[in-house]
Amino acid sequence: MKKSVRQVAAASRNTTSEQKGSFGIMTYTIVRRSFGLTWLAVLVALALPTIQAQTSPAGSSPTFAKDVAPILQNNCQQCHRPNQSTPMSLLTYQEVRPYARAIRTKILSREMPPWGVDPTVGTQAFENKMALTDAEITTITDWVEAGAPFGEAADLPAPREFAEDHVWSLPGEPDLVVASTPHLVKGGSGQTWAEVFVDLPITEERWVKAYQSKPGKDDVEIVHHMMATVILPDGEDDGFGFHYTPGKPATVYQDDAGFLLRPGSQIRFDLHFDAKEHDIVAKPQLGLILYPKGYEPKHQVDRLNFASLSELDIPAGEVTRHDGYALMRENFRVMTFMSHFHELGKRQCLELIYPDTGETEMLNCADFDFYWQTVFRYEKDAQPLIPKGTILHTINYHDNSLANRLNRDPKNWTGFGQRSTDEMAIAMFEGVKLTDEEFQQAREERLRQLEAQD
Ligand code: HEC
């Protein structure tokens, strides 16, 4: 009954397609190509100079007060402020100054803010986007290179106000709050993971309109990220969760769409903690706004796993690429995507091969970070519309070299499996199926929007 996310992700690759009706994976073949370390080095070398080459207008070095503080307010402080799960606060000049060089490094490598979507591929219109523009990166790096000057106090923006962390950002009070059983995180225990199972307190089927998962009042400062996943009464788990990272707003399904909850299900909280010095009891929770009893939204939110890469061959010390192919049997409107790998997961690209013409389109590529497990939520007008008959081509990279800080043993060959030391490569979509007519309408609406923008 109780399965870990890894076991479940592995198991569901066989069952999801059948249980989700006509959706599924027809064939998923694998081609392995491996790249030496030089390949990554080339990518990094190509990426950095384009950013560094840009400079601000001559004679006007950016200052903290005028140029840098607003960027930090909008992109960093939701996590980097007191009593959060971050190593330091970035509110004031005094707090930021010692980290100037570290900030430069982390934003150039795009490790901060922790986002991952490749800015050069596909749409960048995501509701939960956390990314600096090239211009913002240039401003900060120029500032660091100019010696990180403070500037004029009069230029400082008013401090950003933050809602109290335990207050929901849902559109209204939640109809249902699922509270995790309290979990003790020992002081000084470093990075730890926990799984907590809680029965879902409903007695009849209910449809979710909006959700938010988040830490409790006392544990904001140790919850690095979390995922609340629904385990169906038969023990099946689609591996997809209600995701939390600090500062992430509630998710509201639009357009009469909802996610079905069944009685007898459980919620599994997957928690990643970064302990403080003292003991803290964590009480994370999931808040749900439900459609009224008996009401059925027109569109059921579906969660699909494209997950049959059961033959992975990842030699010691190498960066590998594995390709997978899956047939989309129905028209689908994609609301979110996420990748699921283990510690060696590096990057995933999603390409569509359209029916009839065979034309291809790269949807998005995203670097993967096991420490964040980000769910990428498209803005409504950017949600990919995939016609049935399309083949989804996934390109999956694993990094089994020393360069991967999470690699436990770069001397070991690694393959597919369910242990955390084994690997996986799964692409997950959340979205709604569309009839041919609905699909046509959605496509026409999208074309009109695109024309209006031109
Ligand atoms: C979603 C939360 C979040 C956001 C937004 C975020 N950070 Fe971080 N940051 C973290 C966490 C958590 C860590 C600790 C390392 C980790 O878990 O990756 C970290 C680590 C860092 C570090 C390394 C600190 C050290 O100990 O060396 C730097 C530098 C940094 N962040 C800068 C930034 C900057 C600059 C921004 C905005 C442009 C930013 N971060 C936005 C959560 C965040």
Condensed to tens digits (0 to 9), the pLDDT of residues 70-104 reads 999 999 999 999 888 888 999 999 999 999 999 99
245 lines ligand 1 (CB under 6 A): yes
CA atoms within 13 A on the CB side of 314: 34
Q: Are 377 and 383 in contact (CB under 8 A)?
A: no
Q: Are 330 and 310 in contact (CB under 8 A)?
A: no
Give the Cα separation of 174 and 167 in Å (integer): 11
Q: Strand pairing of 360-367 and 414-415? A: unpaired
Report the nearest atom of ligand 1 relative to the CA of 245: 1
Q: Cα of 357 to ligand 1 centre, how many Å?
A: 44
131 lines ligand 1 (CB under 6 A): no
Exposure b/e, 326-364, CB count within 10 A at least 16 = b: bbbbbbbbbbbbbbbbbbbbbbbbbbbbeeeeeeeeebb
Probe residue for ligand 1, chosen from 72, 74, 79, 222 as the CB with the greatest number of ligand atoms within 8 Å: 79
Please name the residue whose Cα sits nearest to atom 8 of ligand 1: 112
Give the pLDDT band (50/70/90) at residue 21. very low
Please name the residue whose Cα sits nearest to atom 11 of ligand 1: 86
What are the pLDDT digits (tens) for 235-273? Answer: 887 666 788 877 777 889 987 899 999 999 999 998 888
> What is the torsion angle, in degrees rounded to the nearest 10, for the CA atoms of residue 155, residue 156, residue 160 and residue 161?
-100
Please name the residue whose Cα sits nearest to atom 19 of ligand 1: 86
What are the pLDDT digits (tens) for 2-12? Answer: 333 333 333 33
Q: Cα of 113 to ligand 1 centre, how many Å?
A: 6
Instruction: State the pLDDT at residue 39.
Output: 32
103 lines ligand 1 (CB under 6 A): yes
User: Which range is least confidently modeled, 150-159, 273-282, 344-353?
Assistant: 273-282
Look up the pTM and report it.
0.82
Report the nearest atom of ligand 1 relative to the CA of 102: 29
Give the pLDDT band (50/70/90) at residue 121. very high
Which of these, 363, 199, 398, 211, lies nearest to 288 by C-alpha position? Answer: 211
Probe residue for ligand 1, chosen from 64, 76, 126 as the CB with the greatest number of ligand atoms within 8 Å: 76
Highest mean pLDDT among 38-52, 229-243, 389-403 belongs to 389-403
Give the Cα separation of 376 and 379 in Å (integer): 10
Instruction: State the pLDDT at residue 72.
Output: 97
Instruction: State the pLDDT at residue 13.
Output: 31
Three-state secondary structure string covering 201-238: CCCCCEEEEEEEEECCCCCCCCEEEEEEEEECCCCCEE
User: Is the pLDDT score of 194 beyond 80?
Assistant: yes
Q: How far apart are the two ends of the chain, measured CA to CA in Å?
A: 53
Q: Cα of 89 to ligand 1 centre, how many Å?
A: 9
Question: Strands (DSSP E) along 76-162, which ranges?
Answer: none
User: Is the pLDDT score of 14 beyond 90?
Assistant: no
Residues 6+ apart with CB under 8 A from 170: 210, 211, 212, 250, 252, 287, 289
Three-state secondary structure string covering 7-55: HHHHHHHHHHHHHCCCCCCCCCCCCEEEECHHHHHHHHHHHHHHHHCCC
Q: Cα of 112 to ligand 1 centre, how many Å?
A: 5
Give the Cα separation of 72 and 365 in Å (integer): 26
Q: Are 43 and 110 in contact (CB under 8 A)?
A: no
Please name the residue whose Cα sits nearest to atom 32 of ligand 1: 103
Please name the residue whose Cα sits nearest to atom 10 of ligand 1: 86
Domains and CATH numbers, the chain: 11-37+301-453 (2.60.120.230), 48-155 (no CATH), 176-298 (2.60.120.230)
Report the nearest atom of ligand 1 relative to the CA of 105: 29
Probe residue for ligand 1, chosen from 64, 68, 80 as the CB with the greatest number of ligand atoms within 8 Å: 80
Which of these, 445, 408, 435, lies nearest to 423 by C-alpha position? Answer: 408
Q: Cα of 201 to ligand 1 centre, how many Å?
A: 36
Instruction: State the pLDDT at residue 239.
Output: 63
Give the Cα separation of 276 and 395 in Å (integer): 38
Report the nearest atom of ligand 1 relative to the CA of 78: 5
Mean predicted lDDT score pLDDT of the chain: 83
Which of these, 364, 298, 368, lies nearest to 334 by C-alpha position? Answer: 364
Report the nearest atom of ligand 1 relative to the CA of 106: 29
109: three-class secondary structure by DSSP: coil
User: Which range is least confidently modeled, 275-279, 328-332, 418-422?
Assistant: 418-422
Structure tokens at 441: 């309408």
Three-state secondary structure string covering 149-195: CCCCHHHCCCCCCCCCCCCCCCCCCCCEEEECCCEEECCCCCEEEEE
Mean pLDDT (whole number) for 316-344: 93
Length, in residues, of the chain: 454
Please name the residue whose Cα sits nearest to atom 9 of ligand 1: 86
